[in-house]
C-alpha cells in the first residue's frame, strides 16, 4: 500500500507543530523519519493514526483520500502503530493481549484462546519474532514486549507499520534483532515508518530518510548521506559528533568501592562483589547491557539502596550507610537514568526543578521560607548557561522536550561543586544537539577535577567519554579496560565473556 | 446533539399529550401557596379549618430520622398537622441530619419569622433553650425534655412512658408461650431506657403476682444494661438485634428504636405468628399497618396531643412555661388497642391490665425507673 | 523571564470557568427536580393543553421561590451571612486538611476522625479545667490541634513505616474515633452532672470563641489557616518537599528528600487542621459534645477540597459555597417553597459531579478542549 501525505498541518494555539508536511511512503519501504525531540514527528504520526485531527492537508492511501477520526479507522485502513510506551496489559498473556478488542469466541462467549495462540505462533514464525503466545507480558523483557506490539499490528493486517522511537528502550542486541525483523517485514511488502533520532540506525536500515525540523520537512535523502550531513539537517547547523577532549589529568582516588553487594527488590543478588575506584579528573565508563546491575549499583552509590555488604568510600570516608541527602551534601552529583521518573518532578516548574536538591541551602531558603528571588536568579542563569529551551522558568518541566528535560537535570547537578559525578544514561532519548552539549559539559566537569562515572548502554557514548571502561555483566564487573579496545571485544565482554550466554533469548 | 434534542422534544410532547386529558381543578380558596408536606397538602382538600390564623406561623425542627420515621418525629409532626387543620396556620419545618445542625435549624426558622417553634428530641434541649432566651417573642416547646427553670416562652413536653410500658411488660408476660420476652433500644439514653425499665418492671410484677418466672432478655433495670442498635435508622441493625433476642428464646419483642425497630417487626412477621411484637410511640397498627398482624399492642406516647396543645396555647395567647408531663392519668401516654390480637388476649388479662392502669394512676404501683420524669 | 510576584497556575481561568459552568448546570438540573417534586406544578401539567399558562406560572413560581430562598437564606441578611460563615468555617479547616494531604500525594479520608479527636480534646479542656478567659480558649484550641495532629500522625507514621495505604487506615480510624466518642459520652466524667444523656458537659464560657459582629471568631481562624497553608505550600521548604513528594516521590527521594518524613509531617499538619475544624464545632458552633456533633463535615471536606482543586484559595471559596448552600438549603426547606432537604444535597452532589467530569461540562457548554484541567482527584489512589 502506498501512503501519501499532502500538506498536513497541525496547530496548537499559536504554535504550529506540523507545517504543510509532504511525505510519500512506498510499499515495502522503510522510511525513516529523522528529527530532534520536539521537531513534530510524533504529532505527524498521531494524525496518521487518528489520534489527532489535522487542521489542513490530506492523507492518500493508494491515491484515494482517507480520513481517520479514531485509531480504529486507521487500523481498519491497514495502519499499525507501535508507541514508545507500550499499550499492553501486563497480567495477560501474549495471545490474550493480541486478542484484546477483537476477541474471537466459540459460541456462548467462550474465548477462543487456541486460535489466538495459533495466530501468534504463525505470525511469529513467519517473521522470526520468537514470541511465546502463552507467556505473561509482565514476564517478558522490553524487547520482546515490543515484538508483541508489532504482532498486534500484524494481527490487524497492518500494511503500514509506524514505529515510534522503537530503539530508545532496547539493548544493542535487541536493536539488532529488531532490525532483522524490520528487514523481513519489508521483504514481505509491509511499509515501515521508522521514527528515530539515531543516525547510525537510520543509515543501517533505512531506504529513504526524511528529516523534520521545527514542524517542517527540511529534506529527503538517501541512507548514503553521511552522519554529519544528516545531523546538520536535523539540528540546522554543523554538529560535532566526536567529543573533543584532552587526556585526563588524573588525581587522587575520589570514590573507592570495595566488594559491594546489593540485594534487589525481589530478593535476588543484583550487584555481586563489585570493586572499582574513580580518580579525580577521570571519567570511568560503565558499559553493559541494560539490566546487569548498573541501575542498582549507582543507586547504592547514592544511598537510595542499602548495600548488603561492602564499602563505599568518598575521599577515604565510608559513605555506604549514607542517605541520599547526606551523599548529595558530601559532593556527589547524580543524574538518574530515568529523568521523568527520578530526575524531575514533572508538574514542577523549571525554576523549582533547578533547585530540587538545593532548596535547603542557605542560598535558596532562610529558615522555612524559600527565597524565590534567588531561585529565579538561579533559573535565569542556568537556562541561559545550559541553553534550556523553555517558554519561561515557570513552565512545568513536563512541557519540555526530552533533551531539555535532561538539560534541567544536568544543569542542576552541575550547579554546585562536586567531588564525584554519577551520570546514568545521561543522553538517553536526547536529540543530537543536546547530546553534544551534555557531553561537552561532562568533559568540562572532569577537567575541573571531578571524578566522573558514566553508565551507558550505548557503546558510542562510552567510547566518546570514557578514560577507562568497566564492563558489567550479571552484577559483576567482568573487566576494566582502556577505551582503545575494539568494539567487538567489548561486545563480547558485555555478553558475559564468551558471547554464548545471550540474555532472554 | 440535534438528533437527541429532537427525540427529547418529541417524547415530551407525547408524554404531555397523554397526560393532558386532565381538567383544571378549581382554585383552592385561601391555600396560601404553602403546601409544607404531604399531610398538610392533603388537608387542604379536607373541610376547611374551623378557624383561620393566616398570620400565625407554627414551625418544627425534627431530630435526625426525619418527619417520616413512623415513630417519634412523625407523631410530633402529626401534632403540628392537626393544629394546622384546626387553626388554619402557616407552617415551616426543617429536618435535622446531625447534632451539629440543631442551632442552625432553629435559627433558619427564626429568620422565617415563626411565631411558635416546636423542637423534637432531648438533644435539641440546649439549642432550644438558648434560642428561647434570645427570642422572647417566640414561643418554644420541646418534645422529650424538661427544664428546671425554663424561660417564660419555653415549655418542656415530657412523657412518663414507663407507665404504659409497665402495662406492656405485664401484657407480654401474660402472652408469652416460651416464658422469655425481649426488648432492645436505639441508644442508651433516658428517653429510650424509660420504656425498657417500665417493660422490665411490668414483667417482674407479673412474676410476683403469678409466682411465675418470665425472663426479660435485652435489658436489666438493675444493672441498666442491655441490647442497643446504636442507630435509630438502621432497619437491618434492628432486625439483627431482634433475631438475636429470638435466638435466646424471646417470643415477644419490644423494640424501642424508632425506624430501626421496624426491622424487629419484619423479623417477627417472618415467623408467622410464633414471635410477635409490641410497638412504641405510635399505634403500630396505624403507623406501620403492614406489620399489624405481628403487633399485639403499642405503647403510645401522645406527642401529637402535647404538640398540638402547645401550638394552640400559643395561638390563643395562653402559652405558659409550665412543663407538660404525659401520664396515663391525663391520657398523654397509653397502651393502644389490641387490634388483630383482640381475640387472643384473654379477658382476664385485659381486666388485670385495667386494674394495673388504675393502680398506676393512683400511685399504688410505684415505678422505680431512674429515667422517669 | 521576570519574576511575577503572585503567580496563579496558568490554567486557573479555564478551571474557574468549568467550575462556574458546573454550578450553572447543577442549578438547571436542580430546577428540574424542583418542578418534579412540586405537587402544584405536577397538577398543572396534567391539564397543560387546556391551560398551558398555569403550568408555566407554577413552574416559574416554584423555581423562583426555591432559588430566592436559597440566595436570601444564605446571604440575604446579616444573620444569614453569619450562619453561612459559621457553617463554612469548619468545612474550610477540614477541607484544608484534605487539600494539604492531597498535595503530598495522600488521600486523607480521615478528616472526620481527626476532627472528632480534636474536638474531644478541646471539649475536655474546655469543661474540665477552670482557667482565666483568654488562656482557657487558647488551651482548648491547642488541645484540639494536638489531638487532631496525633490522630493524623498515626496515619502518617503507618504510611511511612509500613506502607499501609492511608485510604484504608483513615477510614478505619474514623470508626475508632466515632466509637471512642460514643464511649466517652457514656462516661460520667464527660456527661453533664445529674444527667445520663449522651451529651458532654458544657464548655466553660471562657473557653468558647469570642464573637465578632455576631460571628464566632472561628471563621477568622479558618481564613488564617488557609493563608498559612498557602504559605506553607507555596513559599516554604516544607511545602516544596510536600508538593515534590506528592507529584513524584521517586524524584524527591533521588533529590535527597525523606519521603517517609514528608508523609508523616503532611498527615500531622492535616490532622492539626482537622482538629481546628473540631474546635470550631465544640468551642464555637455549639458548646458541648454529642454523638454526631461533627455531622459529615469531615466527608464534605473531601468534596470541598475537590471542588477547590486542592488549592487553599479554592478550598476557602468551596467551603463558603458549601456553607451558603447548606444554610440556603435550610431556608428553602423552612420557607414558603418547602423544598425538600434532599434537594440541596442533590445540588451539592451535582456541582461536584460536574466539576469531577469536566469533559461533560465542556461538551454541554462547547468549551474548547484546552480549557480546564482534568479532575484533580484522578491520581489520589496511585500514591
What is the ipTM for the molecules in this complex?
A: 0.82
Domain ranges of chain A: 3-235, 253-494
Of C47, C288, C334, the CB nearest to B109: C334
| Dihedrals phi, psi of A283, to nearest 5 degrees | -110, 120
CB-based contact (8 Å) between B129 and chain C? no
Reported as a pLDDT band with limits 50, 70 and 90, residue A229 is confident
Q: Which chains touch B (3 or more CB pairs under 8 A)?
A: C
Q: Is A342 within 8 Å of C250 when comparing Cβ atoms?
A: yes
B279: CATH: 3.40.50.2300
Distance in angstroms (rounded) separating the CA atoms of residues A228 and A238: 8
Contacts of C7 in chain A (CB under 8 A): 394
Radius of gyration (C-alpha) of chain C in whole angstroms: 22
Q: Percent of chain C scored above 70 by pLDDT?
A: 91
**Sign (positive or negative) of CA dihedral C319, C321, C325, C328:** positive
Contacts of C10 in chain A (CB under 8 A): 394
Pair C153, C255 in one domain:
yes
pLDDT tens string A348-391: 999 999 999 999 999 999 999 999 999 999 999 999 999 998 88
For the ranges A34-43, A365-374, C103-112, which has the lowest average pLDDT?
A34-43
- Give residue A104's pLDDT: 61
pLDDT tens string C223-239: 999 999 999 999 999 99
Pair C356, C220 in one domain:
no
For the ranges A122-126, C6-10, C130-134, which has the lowest average pLDDT?
C6-10
What is A3-235's CATH superfamily?
P-loop containing nucleotide triphosphate hydrolases (3.40.50.300)
Greater model confidence, B14 or A81: A81
The residue among C251, C276, C307 that closes a domain is C307
User: What's the start-to-end Cα distance of chain C, in Å?
Assistant: 34
Distance in angstroms (rounded) separating the CA atoms of residues A370 and A365: 4
- Give residue B29's pLDDT: 42
Which of helix, strand or coil describes residue C237? helix
Give the domain extent around B136: 51-159+305-326
- Give residue C13's pLDDT: 57
- Give residue A271's pLDDT: 94
Pair C115, C19 in one domain:
no
Pairing, β A309-314 against β A253-263: antiparallel
Contacts of A360 in chain C (CB under 8 A): 237
pLDDT of residue A144 exceeding 90, the answer is no
Reported as a pLDDT band with limits 50, 70 and 90, residue A9 is very high
pLDDT of residue C372 exceeding 50, the answer is no
Pairing, β A56-61 against β A3-12: antiparallel
- Give residue A390's pLDDT: 87
Which regions in chain B score pLDDT beneath 70? Answer: 1-50
CB-based contact (8 Å) between B35 and chain C? yes
Determine the average pLDDT of the residues in A226-243. Answer: 78
Of A352, A368, A373, the CB nearest to C238: A368
- Give residue B347's pLDDT: 94
CA distance C251 to chain A (A): 4
Vertex C133 angle, CA C129 and C139, to 5°: 55
Q: In sequence order, what DSSP letters do the residues of A250-266 get, joined into one string?
A: --SEEEEEEEEEEE-TT
Domain membership flag for residue B108: yes
Which of helix, strand or coil describes residue B357? helix
Q: Which residue of C has its CA nearest to A302?
A: C254
Distance in angstroms (rounded) separating the CA atoms of residues B191 and A473: 79
Q: Is B19 within 8 Å of C46 when comparing Cβ atoms?
A: yes
Pair B273, B348 in one domain:
yes
Vertex A90 angle, CA A87 and A92, to 5°: 105
Give the domain extent around C347: 14-75+325-374
Does residue A470 contact residue A480 with C-beta atoms inside 8 Å?
yes
A–C interface: beta-carbon pairs under 8 A:
78
Does residue B221 contact residue B369 with C-beta atoms inside 8 Å?
yes
Please, which residues have CB within 8 angstroms of residue B79's CB and are 6 or more apart in sequence? B118, B303, B304, B305, B306, B307, B308, B310, B311
Q: Is C285 within 8 Å of B37 when comparing Cβ atoms?
A: no
CA distance C57 to chain B (A): 13
Greater model confidence, A114 or A333: A333
Contacts of C3 in chain A (CB under 8 A): 372-373, 376
pLDDT of residue C147 exceeding 80, the answer is yes
Number of structural domains in chain B: 2
CA distance C240 to chain A (A): 8
Domain membership flag for residue C35: yes
- Give residue C380's pLDDT: 37
What is A253-494's CATH superfamily?
P-loop containing nucleotide triphosphate hydrolases (3.40.50.300)
- Residue C248 is given by DSSP the state -
The residue among C277, C307, C337 that closes a domain is C307
Reported as a pLDDT band with limits 50, 70 and 90, residue A240 is low
Pair B175, B262 in one domain:
yes
Pair C274, C222 in one domain:
yes
Pair B84, B207 in one domain:
no
pLDDT of residue C105 exceeding 90, the answer is yes
Q: Helix H segments across A127-198?
A: 142-155, 172-187
Determine the average pLDDT of the residues in A397-413. Answer: 90
Q: Which residue of C has its CA nearest to B38?
A: C39
Mutation for C interface: B89, B91, B104, most C CBs within 10 A: B104
Number of structural domains in chain C: 2
pLDDT tens string B121-163: 888 988 899 999 999 999 999 998 888 889 999 999 999 999 9
CB-based contact (8 Å) between B5 and chain C? no
Residues 36-55 of B with CB under 8 A from C: 36-37, 41
Of C237, C240, C250, the CB nearest to A341: C250
Domain membership flag for residue B17: no
B–C interface: beta-carbon pairs under 8 A:
121
Reported as a pLDDT band with limits 50, 70 and 90, residue A202 is confident
Enumerate the β-bridge partners of residue A388. Answer: none
Domain membership flag for residue B127: yes
pLDDT of residue C70 exceeding 70, the answer is yes
Does residue A281 contact residue A450 with C-beta atoms inside 8 Å?
yes
Determine the average pLDDT of the residues in C252-278. Answer: 96
pLDDT of residue A173 exceeding 80, the answer is no
Determine the average pLDDT of the residues in C314-337. Answer: 88
pLDDT tens string A303-313: 999 999 999 99
CB-based contact (8 Å) between A318 and chain C? no
Distance in angstroms (rounded) separating the CA atoms of residues A464 and A439: 8
pLDDT of residue A456 exceeding 60, the answer is yes
Q: In sequence order, what DSSP letters do the residues of C102-138 get, joined into one string?
A: HHTT----THHHHHHHHHHHHHHHHHH----HHHHHH
Reported as a pLDDT band with limits 50, 70 and 90, residue C370 is very low
Pick the closest to residue B158 from B307, B357, B353, B348 (CA basis).
Answer: B307
- Give residue B8's pLDDT: 52
Q: Percent of chain A scored above 90 by pLDDT?
A: 44
Domains A3-235 and A253-494 share a fold: yes
pLDDT of residue A409 exceeding 50, the answer is yes
Pair B104, B175 in one domain:
no
* Mean pLDDT value across chain A: 87
Q: Is A373 within 8 Å of C370 when comparing Cβ atoms?
A: no
Amino acid at each position: 500500500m502506498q501512503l501519501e501525505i499532502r500538506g498536513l498541518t497541525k496547530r496548537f494555539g499559536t504554535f504550529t507543530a506540523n507545517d504543510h508536511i509532504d511525505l510519500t511512503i512506498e510499499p515495502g519501504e522503510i522510511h525513516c523519519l529523522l528529527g530532534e525531540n520536539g521537531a513534530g514527528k510524533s504529532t505527524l504520526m498521531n494524525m496518521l493514526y487518528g489520534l489527532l485531527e489535522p487542521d489542513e492537508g490530506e492523507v492518500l492511501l493508494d491515491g484515494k483520500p482517507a480520513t481517520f477520526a479514531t485509531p480504529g479507522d486507521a487500523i481498519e485502513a491497514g495502519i499499525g502503530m507501535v508507541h514508545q510506551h507500550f499499550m499492553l496489559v501486563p497480567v495477560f498473556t501474549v495471545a490474550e493481549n493480541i486478542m484484546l478488542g477483537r476477541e474471537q469466541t466459540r459460541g456462548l462467549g467462550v474465548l477462543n484462546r487456541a486460535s489466538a495462540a495459533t495466530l501468534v505462533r504463525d505470525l511469529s514464525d513467519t517473521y522470526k519474532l520468537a514470541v511465546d503466545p502463552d507467556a505473561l507480558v509482565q514476564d517478558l523483557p522490553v524487547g520482546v514486549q515490543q515484538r508483541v506490539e508489532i504482532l498486534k499490528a500484524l494481527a490487524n493486517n497492518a500494511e503500514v507499520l509506524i514505529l515510534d522511537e522503537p530503539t530508545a528502550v532496547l539493548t544493542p542486541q535487541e536493536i539488532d534483532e529488531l532490525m532483522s525483523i524490520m528487514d523481513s517485514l519489508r521483504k514481505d511488502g509491509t511499509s515501515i515508518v521508522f521514527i528515530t533520532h539515531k543516525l547510525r540506525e537510520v543509515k543501517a536500515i533505512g531506504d529513504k530518510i526524511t528529516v523534520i525540523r521545527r514542524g517542517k520537512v527540511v529534506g529527503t535523502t538517501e541512507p548514503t548521506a553521511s552522519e554529519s550531513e544528516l545531523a546538520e539537517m536535523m539540528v540546522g547547523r554543523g554538529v560535532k559528533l566526536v567529543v573533543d577532549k584532552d587526556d585526563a589529568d588524573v588525581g587522587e582516588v575520589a570514590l573507592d568501592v570495595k566488594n559491594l553487594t546489593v540485594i534487589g527488590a525481589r530478593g535476588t543478588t543484583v550487584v555481586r562483589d563489585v570493586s572499582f575506584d574513580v580518580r579525580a579528573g577521570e571519567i570511568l565508563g560503565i558499559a553493559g547491557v541494560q539490566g546487569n546491575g548498573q541501575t542498582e549499583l549507582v543507586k547504592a552509590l547514592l544511598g537510595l539502596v542499602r548495600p548488603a555488604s561492602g564499602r563505599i568510600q568518598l575521599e577515604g570516608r565510608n559513605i555506604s550507610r549514607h542517605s541520599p541527602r547526606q551523599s548529595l551534601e558530601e559532593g556527589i552529583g547524580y543524574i538518574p537514568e530515568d529523568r521523568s521518573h527520578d530526575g524531575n518532578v514533572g508538574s514542577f516548574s523549571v525554576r523549582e526543578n533547578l533547585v530540587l536538591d538545593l532548596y535547603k541551602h542557605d542560598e535558596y531558603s532562610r529558615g522555612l521560607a524559600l527565597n524565590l528571588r534567588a531561585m529565579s536568579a538561579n533559573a535565569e542563569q542556568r537556562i541561559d548557561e545550559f541553553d534550556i529551551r523553555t517558554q519561561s522558568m515557570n513552565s512545568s518541566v513536563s512541557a519540555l522536550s526530552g533533551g531539555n528535560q535532561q538539560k534541567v537535570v544536568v544543569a542542576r547537578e552541575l550547579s554546585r561543586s562536586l567531588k564525584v559525578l554519577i551520570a546514568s544514561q545521561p543522553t538517553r532519548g536526547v536529540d543530537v544537539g543536546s547530546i553534544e552539549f551534555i557531553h561537552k559539559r561532562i568533559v568540562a566537569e572532569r577537567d575541573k577535577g571531578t571524578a566522573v562515572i558514566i553508565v551507558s548502554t550505548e557503546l558510542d557514548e562510552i567510547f566518546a567519554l570514557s578514560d577507562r571502561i568497566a564492563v558489567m555483566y550479571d552484577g559483576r564487573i567482568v573487566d576494566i579496560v582502556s577505551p582503545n579496545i575494539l568494539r567487538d571485544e567489548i561486545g563480547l565482554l558485555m555478553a558475559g565473556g564468551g558471547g554464548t550466554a545471550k540474555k532472554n533469548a | 446533539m440535534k438528533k437527541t434534542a429532537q427525540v427529547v422534544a418529541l417524547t415530551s410532547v407525547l408524554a404531555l399529550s397523554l397526560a393532558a386529558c386532565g381538567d383544571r381543578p378549581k382554585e383552592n380558596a385561601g391555600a396560601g401557596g404553602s403546601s409544607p408536606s404531604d399531610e398538610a397538602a392533603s388537608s387542604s382538600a379536607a373541610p376547611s379549618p374551623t378557624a383561620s390564623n393566616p398570620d400565625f406561623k407554627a414551625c418544627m425542627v425534627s431530630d435526625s430520622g426525619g418527619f417520616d420515621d413512623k415513630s417519634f418525629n412523625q407523631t410530633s409532626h402529626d401534632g403540628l398537622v392537626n393544629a394546622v387543620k384546626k387553626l388554619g396556620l402557616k407552617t415551616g419545618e426543617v429536618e435535622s441530619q446531625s447534632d451539629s445542625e440543631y442551632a442552625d435549624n432553629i435559627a433558619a426558622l427564626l429568620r422565617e419569622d415563626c411565631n411558635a417553634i416546636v423542637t423534637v428530641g432531648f438533644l435539641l434541649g440546649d439549642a432550644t433553650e438558648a434560642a428561647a432566651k434570645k427570642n422572647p417573642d417566640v414561643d418554644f416547646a420541646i418534645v422529650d425534655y424538661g427544664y428546671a427553670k425554663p424561660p417564660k416562652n419555653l415549655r418542656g413536653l415530657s412523657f412518663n412512658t414507663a407507665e404504659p410500658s409497665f402495662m406492656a411488660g405485664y401484657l407480654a408476660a401474660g402472652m408469652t408461650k416460651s416464658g422469655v420476652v425481649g426488648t432492645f433500644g436505639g441508644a442508651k439514653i433516658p428517653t429510650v431506657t424509660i420504656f425498657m425499665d417500665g417493660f422490665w418492671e411490668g414483667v417482674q410484677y407479673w412474676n410476683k403476682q403469678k409466682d411465675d418466672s418470665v425472663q426479660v432478655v435485652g435489658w436489666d433495670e438493675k444493672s441498666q444494661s442491655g441490647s442497643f442498635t446504636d442507630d435509630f435508622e438502621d432497619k437491618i441493625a434492628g432486625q439483627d438485634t431482634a433475631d438475636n433476642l429470638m435466638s435466646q428464646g424471646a417470643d415477644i419483642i419490644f423494640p424501642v428504636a424508632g425506624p430501626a425497630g421496624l426491622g424487629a417487626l419484619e423479623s417477627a412477621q417472618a415467623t408467622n405468628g410464633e414471635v410477635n411484637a409490641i410497638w412504641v410511640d405510635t399505634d403500630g397498627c396505624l403507623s406501620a399497618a403492614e406489620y399489624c398482624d405481628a403487633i399485639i399492642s403499642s405503647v403510645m406516647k401522645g406527642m401529637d396531643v402535647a404538640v398540638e396543645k402547645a401550638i394552640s396555647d400559643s395561638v390563643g395567647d395562653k402559652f405558659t412555661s409550665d412543663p407538660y408531663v404525659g401520664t396515663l392519668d391525663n391520657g398523654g401516654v397509653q397502651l393502644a388497642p389490641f387490634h388483630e390480637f383482640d381475640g387472643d388476649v384473654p379477658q382476664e388479662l385485659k381486666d388485670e391490665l385495667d386494674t394495673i392502669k388504675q393502680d398506676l394512676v393512683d400511685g399504688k404501683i410505684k415505678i422505680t425507673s431512674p429515667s422517669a420524669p | 523571564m521576570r519574576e511575577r510576584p503572585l503567580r496563579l497556575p496558568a490554567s486557573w481561568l479555564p478551571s474557574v470557568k468549568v467550575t462556574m459552568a458546573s454550578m450553572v448546570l447543577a442549578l438547571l438540573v436542580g430546577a428540574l427536580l424542583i418542578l418534579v417534586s412540586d405537587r402544584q406544578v405536577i397538577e398543572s401539567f396534567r391539564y397543560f393543553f387546556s391551560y398551558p399558562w398555569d403550568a408555566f406560572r407554577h413552574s416559574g413560581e416554584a423555581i423562583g421561590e426555591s432559588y430566592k430562598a436559597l440566595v436570601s437564606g444564605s446571604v440575604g441578611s446579616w444573620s444569614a451571612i453569619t450562619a453561612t460563615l459559621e457553617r463554612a468555617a469548619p468545612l474550610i479547616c477540614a477541607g484544608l486538611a484534605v487539600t494539604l494531604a492531597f498535595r503530598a500525594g495522600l488521600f486523607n479520608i480521615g478528616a472526620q476522625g481527626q476532627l472528632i479527636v480534636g474536638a474531644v480534646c478541646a471539649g475536655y479542656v474546655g469543661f474540665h479545667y477552670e482557667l482565666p478567659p483568654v488562656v482557657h480558649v487558647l488551651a482548648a484550641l491547642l488541645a484540639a490541634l494536638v489531638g487532631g495532629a496525633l490522630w493524623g500522625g498515626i496515619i502518617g507514621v503507618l504510611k511511612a513505616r509500613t506502607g499501609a495505604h492511608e485510604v484504608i487506615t483513615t477510614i478505619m480510624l474514623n470508626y475508632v474515633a466515632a466509637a471512642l466518642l460514643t464511649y466517652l459520652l457514656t462516661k460520667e466524667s464527660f456527661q453533664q452532672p445529674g444527667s445520663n444523656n449522651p451529651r458532654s458537659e458544657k464548655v466553660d464560657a471562657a473557653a468558647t470563641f469570642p464573637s465578632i459582629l455576631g460571628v464566632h471568631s472561628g471563621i477568622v481562624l479558618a481564613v488564617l489557616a488557609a493563608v498559612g497553608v498557602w504559605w506553607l505550600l507555596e513559599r516554604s521548604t516544607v511545602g516544596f518537599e510536600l508538593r515534590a513528594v506528592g507529584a513524584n516521590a521517586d524524584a524527591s527521594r533521588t533529590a535527597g528528600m525523606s519521603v517517609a518524613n514528608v508523609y508523616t509531617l503532611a498527615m500531622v499538619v492535616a490532622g492539626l487542621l482537622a482538629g481546628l475544624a473540631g474546635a470550631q464545632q465544640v468551642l464555637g458552633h455549639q458548646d458541648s459534645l454529642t454523638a454526631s456533633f461533627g455531622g459529615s463535615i469531615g466527608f464534605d471536606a473531601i468534596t470541598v477540597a475537590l471542588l477547590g482543586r486542592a488549592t487553599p484559595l479554592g478550598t476557602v471559596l468551596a467551603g463558603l459555597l458549601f456553607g451558603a448552600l447548606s444554610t440556603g438549603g435550610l431556608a428553602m426547606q423552612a420557607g414558603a417553597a418547602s423544598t425538600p432537604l434532599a434537594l440541596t444535597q442533590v445540588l451539592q452532589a451535582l456541582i461536584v459531579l460536574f466539576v469531577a467530569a469536566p469533559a461533560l461540562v465542556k461538551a454541554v457548554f462547547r468549551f474548547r478542549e484546552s480549557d480546564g484541567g482534568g479532575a484533580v482527584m484522578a491520581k489520589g489512589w496511585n500514591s
